[in-house]
Amino acid sequence: MKKILITFGTRPEAIKMLPLFQEFNKYPDLFQTKICVTAQHREMLDQVLDFFEVQPDFDLNLMKPGQNLHSLTANIILSLKTVLEEFKPDYMFVHGDTTTSMAAALAGFYSGVKICHVEAGLRTFNIHSPFPEEMNRQITARIATYHFAPTENSKRNLIKENINESTISVTGNTVIDALLHSVEKVKHINNSEILNLKELINLNKKIILVTGHRRENHGEGFIQICQALKTIAERHHEVEIIYPVHLNPNVQKPVYEMLSHMDNIKLINPLSYPSFVWLMNQSYLILTDSGGIQEEAPSLGKPVLVLREVTERPEAVEQGTVILVGTNYESIVKKTNLLLSNNHYYKRMTRIQNPYGDGNACSRIIEFILKN
Ligand code: UD1
Ligand code: UDP
């Protein structure tokens, strides 16, 4: 019996790791699997745990309002020590590039556990963008025993860093497993949040869905994004902008100050995962700096303008369903105008084709673990 500890702390990690937990649970004779949440996010994490109907075995409950990276990192390492001593896992799974991923990997390494890194090998090779995520993922790769790369491109990035090829498995991204699960499950549940959204939103208009949270966009980046959204809303009365605002105070403050008075901009709280997937499906266009949304949207045939200067997810950009626009006011307004006015250009971006996965990433990860 192999003992598995799955550790995560933020909303996107929960979305991408809970399908893996469910897959491990299909084999109770082979694996004893437990979940530890750092709760780097509290409300946004709990929304996902509720949807997947999962109760963590260990909850470190570490989120503080306006937390800083230094204390969060230190607290994760110290709190995890106790969990590792109690459960004594053989393998610890961490995800991606958050402070939880990096600090948990280090804590696991100190305790002699094999670290398995899911969504390994994404790179911009610029340690300041995304900050601090690029450094978090490079450190996690150094520490990890096994690397689950979503694409061949991410595998190549790892090989360039001299990671032994036999420790890498290309699996696709588990976010597509989560997306397909959500699309299916939402058919069978009565979701009051979706009913409320139907009341709030004028679905006869073209819906532009917006999200944003990246640290390197805090300050000037968010000001330019909000100015651009204001201009788009003023010029295009056929459009309604829906923006579920991330709970980070550095995001909440500028967004509510600059946009709450606009008639055709609706600022709302973060949505639970199935409601957000429903809203993506209703959208004409998505503007975001999110990593996960860049990966999900190509499965739904929704064009994405990425509000960042660089991306570690070049595959959908190369395929033509995602465009990198940055945070510059002029370029956001110009590209959005083009997509709203030129149907031929718009249609070219709506192909349903996903380079990030096919919904079977979790079973590939387990197949690999059974052999190692
Ligand atoms: C974190 C991750 C980022 C990831 C993002 C996903 C790091 C450094 N950053 O960024 O990689 O892409 O999550 O969303 O790991 N807050 C709440 N309730 C919540 C969540 C956040 O109130 O449920 C507020 C708190 O004041 C918290 C602050 O947001 O201190 C910032 O949270 P934090 O996890 O440090 O950073 P994010 O910007 O969310
Ligand atoms: N998401 C959600 N509710 C929202 C906004 C986003 O469930 O209100 C989901 C989205 O579908 C994606 C993930 O959260 O799977 C992205 O999270 P985020 O943008 O916070 O982080 P990132 O992907 O950039 O790390």
Active site residues: 97, 119, 133, 213, 215, 246
Question: Do 18 and 166 share a domain, yes or no?
Answer: yes
Which residues are within 8 A (CB) of 353 and not within 5 positions of it... i.e. 6 or more apart? 298, 319, 321
How many CB atoms are closer than 10 A to CB 317?
A: 16
Both tokens of 130, joined, read 């995304």
Pick from 293, 306, 307, 356 the residue to mutate for probing ligand 2's pocket: most ligand atoms within 8 Å of its CB. Answer: 293
Q: What is the pLDDT of residue 102?
A: 98
User: How far lies 289's CA from each of 67, 123, 175, 211, 286, in Å?
Assistant: 21, 16, 16, 7, 10
Shortest CA distance to 57 belongs to which of 73, 36, 85, 77? 36
**Same domain, yes or no, for 91 and 152?**
yes
Token pair for 107: 């804590």
Q: Is the CB of 112 under 6 A from ligand 1?
A: no
- Answer yes or no: do 303 and 322 share one domain: yes
Q: Residue 351 has what pLDDT?
A: 87
Which ligand 1 atom sits nearest the alpha carbon of residue 100? 15
Report yes or no on 252 lying in a domain: yes
Is residue 50 domain-resident? yes
Per-residue pLDDT of the chain (372 residues; tens, 9 = 90+): 999 999 999 999 999 999 999 999 999 999 999 999 999 999 999 999 999 999 999 999 999 999 999 999 999 999 999 999 999 999 999 999 999 999 999 999 999 999 999 999 999 999 999 999 999 999 999 999 999 999 999 999 999 999 999 999 999 999 999 999 998 888 877 789 999 999 999 999 999 999 999 999 999 999 999 999 999 999 999 999 999 999 999 999 999 999 999 999 999 999 999 999 999 999 999 999 999 999 999 999 999 999 999 999 999 999 999 999 999 999 999 999 999 999 999 999 998 889 999 999 999 999 999 999
Q: 86 and 141 share a domain?
A: yes
Return d(Cα 49, Cα 20) in angstroms, integer.
Answer: 13
Helix, strand, or coil (residue 66): coil
Task: Let me know whether 309 and 363 are in one domain.
Answer: no
The number of the ligand nearest the C-alpha atom of 250 reads 1
The verdict on 194 and 166 lying in the same domain is no
Tell whether 245 and 142 lie within a shared domain.
Answer: no
The protein residue whose alpha carbon is closest to atom 9 in ligand 1 is: 98
Position 114 in a domain = yes
d(CA 17, CA 212): 21
DSSP letters for 189-230: S--HHHHHHHHHS-TTSEEEEEE---GGGTTHHHHHHHHHHH
Closest-CA residue, ligand 1 atom 11, reads 98
Q: Say which CATH number the domain at 197 has.
A: 3.40.50.2000
- C-alpha 75 to ligand 1 mean position (Å): 15
Q: Residue 308 in 3-state DSSP?
A: coil
Q: 């230094």: which residue's tokens?
A: 70
Q: Whose C-alpha lies nearest to ligand 1, atom 20?
A: 41
Backbone φ, ψ for residue 97 (5° rounding): -145, 25
Q: Are residues 23 and 75 in the same domain?
A: yes
- Please count the structural domains in the chain: 2
Q: Are residues 245 and 149 in the same domain?
A: no
Residue 193: CB partners within 8 Å, gap ≥ 6? 271, 272, 275
Q: Is the CB of 213 under 6 A from ligand 2?
A: yes
- Residue 179 belongs to a domain: no
- What is the rounded distance in angstroms from the CA atom of residue 339 to the CA atom of residue 78? 49
Domain extent for 87: 2-173+357-371
Judge if the beta carbon of residue 218 lies within 6 A of ligand 1: no
**Inside any domain, residue 182:** no
Ligand 1 pocket test, pick from 248, 253, 307 with the greatest ligand atom count within 8 Å of Cβ, gives 248
Q: Are 296 and 16 in contact, with CB atoms under 8 Å apart?
A: no
- Residue 232 resides in a domain: yes
154 and 20 belong to one structural domain: yes
pLDDT for the residue numbered 154: 98
DSSP tag of 128 = T
Locate the ligand 2 atom nearest the alpha carbon of residue 96 and give its number: 25
Query: Structure pTM?
Result: 0.98
Are 25 and 85 within one domain? yes
Residue 110 lies in a domain: yes
Residue nearest to atom 9 of ligand 2 (CA): 273
CA distances in angstroms from 268 to 87, 271, 276, listed in the order given: 40, 8, 11
Looking up tokens 């008075």 gives 261
Asked if residue 180 is part of any domain, the answer here is no
273/216 same-domain check:
yes
Cβ–ligand 2 distance for 270 under 6 Å, the answer yes
Tokens 């509510």 locate to 256
CA distances from 83 to 40, 92, 104 (A): 16, 11, 11
